[in-house]
Amino acid sequence: RKAKDPSDFVVVCCNFTPVVRSQYRVGLPQGGWYEEVFNSDSEYYGGGNVGNYPGIAAEKIGHHGRPYSIPVNLPPLAVTVLKPKKE
């Protein structure tokens, strides 16, 4: 869905396989720092704590038709949500 402010968005990554996907590249519309705001594999929820805490810096490497990207560690059978940090 589109927000009133196009810079206000989250990146939702779902891994429905039982295998960790390390450094899985995800395309992004803008650069900057992306904070991990939710990880269903967190120790807090009884998971294995595979993730990207505290976050990842976007790289100027185009991917998925976007000008920037991040290499995300996707935990198995889990959902990770990242949000660009406002400066």
pLDDT digits (tens, 9 = 90+) for 45-80: 999 999 999 999 999 999 999 999 999 999 999 999
pLDDT digits (tens, 9 = 90+) for 14-27: 999 999 999 999 99
Question: Whose CA is closest to 9, among 1, 18, 20, 17?
Answer: 1
pTM summary value: 0.91
**In sequence order, which residues have a C-beta less than 8 Å from that of residue 41 and are 6 or more positions away?**
47, 48, 49, 50, 51, 75, 76, 77, 78, 80
